[in-house]
Structure 1
Amino acid sequence: MFYDCLKEIGWKKFGIFAAGVAFGTAGIKILSSKDAKKAYTQGTAAVLRAKECVMKTATTIQENAEDIYEEAKSINEARAAEEEAEMCEEETAEKACQEEAVTE
């Protein structure tokens, strides 16, 4: 009867399970070793350096964008002042023409 139970066990599945347990146990030992810790530390340090580089670049881009925005505002203000001056000149010339027409 015991022998019949052993025949019904899927040895392939059992072998896969046993290999998984062995690999998992070995994997935990490998992941918690000093060499692995050194690799994690080096990887983290590289990520921190990359973050610092990205932040510097982002700050530079932001500063440049602020400069561009301020220059664009001053250009638009100057253009608006020129247009206003032109409109005043046109109005003045128009009034002068009307006054001439009235006096004639």
Structure 2
Amino acid sequence: MKNIFSSIDWKKTGLFAAGVAFGTAGIKVLSSDDAKKVYTNCTAAVLRAKDCVMKTATTIQENAEDIYAEAVQINEDRAAEEDAKVEESLDEEVSADEEGAE
């Protein structure tokens, strides 16, 4: 019988027993009313942070849409100016050709 106890690694057995005890106590602590209050408060904080992030994302998206719309307008204005210059130069060429033909 003495040989059986001498072959047991008491350090590992003690660590296992401590783990079981802490695990059992941990489950009770994690399921207590105080722990539930902490979980609830943490969840509420996460939801508030989510709202803040969503507001910021919406603001950024709106600003990006405004910037895009202004950029499109600038390009349309430039295209209209270039078309007007081309038409003006064509009109000058046509009037020069008409004066030369007379």
Structure 2: runs of 5 or more not aligned: none
d(CA) in 1 for partners of 2:5 and 2:84? Answer: 102
Match of 2:88 in 1: 89
Q: Which amino acid aligns with 2:57?
A: A
Distance in 1 (CA, whole Å) between partners of 2:97 and 2:3 is: 120
By how many angstroms is 1:98 displaced? 2.7
Match of 2:18 in 1: 19
CA distance in 2, matches of 1:20, 1:85: 84
How many residue pairs get aligned? The number is 102
**Percent identity at matched positions?**
66
Once superposed, what is the RMSD of the aligned Cα atoms? 1.1
Q: Which residue of 2 aligns with 1:99?
A: 98
Q: Give unpaired runs (5+ residues) of structure 1.
A: none
Aligned to 2:28: 29
Once the 2 structures are TM-superposed, how far is the Cα of residue 37 of structure 1 from its aligned partner? 0.6
Report the alpha carbon displacement of residue 69 of structure 1 after superposing the two structures with TM.
Answer: 1.1
Q: Determine the C-alpha separation between the residues in 2 that align with 1:5 and 1:81.
A: 98
Q: Is structure 2 residue 3 aligned with structure 1 residue 4?
A: yes
Match of 2:68 in 1: 69
- How does the TM-score come out when normalised to structure 2? 0.93
- Normalising to structure 1: TM-score of the pair? 0.91
